[in-house]
Structure 1
């Protein structure tokens, strides 16, 4: 009788998971701390004013193009892409998380953090940025799903463009965007399953 030994867990899996959880904790803590100086306020900080000045030369058409990735239908399309990629690879748990985790991040932002920090701009609660949380949560999921460097690079470029657009359009201060980025990364990383290795093919 031919036996098929079980594929052992990757030797580096516990260490990798530990680093991921540590990164999530650091990002979450930084997101919480960053908003404290602005809680209950309406004014920009020094970094916010510098960012406003940096994007001021950009025209309305450019700014609208830069902020385009934060549109709900774009974020939804990216999320569905992540789900499809997971299902094609037979990773059903990750497919479910690809849908659920960004929604969780958005709900926590809207229902908990924004009322808690009570930072206002243009009669709207702005910390952390909900636009940013939704986009970064989905982009982080895509990076984890694909595990490709070029996807990470594209995600970073997309985030930088969106940040410039959100600040330039007056939707958010830069610190709102940074806080949203940190919080979204924290929620996704703390929710994502440990990396695993596919079973080795049988030689029997």
Structure 2
């Protein structure tokens, strides 16, 4: 099967056709987990007795690493990371993926922001916590980056899939770790953010692939 979008022969799709089944399954699973967690916290329950209890912050020297990772999800970090990834995608001829590099993380953060007042889960008093926007943003960036690298692996679909999903999970876990050890979020907040990205990014990529003008010169 061709990896090109039939709606625009000269433009690689944001979501390679060979990876769509895997991304669809991942999206459904992530949506299920996100919905379940949202339902739990909307109802005011916890998954286990210590769920939602603020733990001790990490000590140096690992704290410096956690702060550095956390910075990638801050506005000043995002305005560097997201445009840089989009520029790389564009320069390599992946215009749809360049659009996804911007839209995916932005929409993921929008979704997490919309869910926070719905769930009403807080940390440090009245700071809305679930799901984690930082984790969602970096997971989205990791997934787009993985799709870019995976698109260069045309001879091995399994390896391309591992790269794409593995990159998303690695970035999500890294940010989730940072948010948890810095006590910026509860562990399950970060799981929710990761799941949000795995739902939003593929859905956004599918929508972008139905905009043929993005691939034309």
TM range (shorter): 0.7 to 0.9
The equivalent residue for 1:113 is 115
SS at match of 1:37: helix
Question: What is the Cα deviation at residue 104 of structure 1?
Answer: 1.0
- Out of 87, 90, 100, the position equivalent to 2:90 is 87
- Out of 2, 25, 50, the position equivalent to 1:9 is 2
CA–CA separation in structure 1 for the residues paired with 2:170 and 2:120? 29
1:162-184 per-residue CA deviation (whole Å, 9 max, x = no partner) reads 32321222211100001110111
Alpha-carbon contact 2:108-2:200 (below 8 Å) kept: yes
Question: What is the Cα deviation at residue 41 of structure 1?
Answer: 4.2
1:172 is the counterpart of 2:185: yes
- RMSD over aligned Cα atoms: 3.2
Distance 1:44 1:116, change over 3 A: same
SS at match of 2:2: coil
Where in structure 2 are there 5+ consecutive unaligned residues?
Answer: 4-15, 151-159, 210-217
Scaled by the length of structure 2, the TM-score of the pair is: 0.69
Question: What is the Cα deviation at residue 106 of structure 1?
Answer: 0.8
How many residues were matched structurally?
182
1:19-44 per-residue CA deviation (whole Å, 9 max, x = no partner) reads 32232122122111123222264978
Which structure is higher in RCO with an 8 Å CA cutoff and minimum separation 6?
1
Alpha-carbon contact 1:86-1:94 (below 8 Å) kept: yes
CA–CA separation in structure 2 for the residues paired with 1:89 and 1:124? 41
Alpha-carbon contact 1:67-1:162 (below 8 Å) kept: no
Question: What is the Cα deviation at residue 144 of structure 1?
Answer: 1.2
CA–CA separation in structure 1 for the residues paired with 2:143 and 2:171? 12
1:99-136 per-residue CA deviation (whole Å, 9 max, x = no partner) reads 112111111211x2111111111111111011111111
- Out of 125, 131, 134, the position equivalent to 1:131 is 134
The equivalent residue for 1:70 is 70
Alpha-carbon contact 1:85-1:145 (below 8 Å) kept: no
1:37-48 to 2 correspondence within 5 Å? 37-39=40-42, 41=44, 45-46=48-49, 48=51
CA–CA separation in structure 1 for the residues paired with 2:32 and 2:175? 23
Where in structure 1 are there 5+ consecutive unaligned residues?
Answer: 1-7, 195-204
Scaled by the length of structure 1, the TM-score of the pair is: 0.73
SS at match of 2:131: coil
Question: What is the Cα deviation at residue 70 of structure 1?
Answer: 2.9
* Higher-Rg member (1/2): 1
CA–CA separation in structure 1 for the residues paired with 2:18 and 2:166? 24
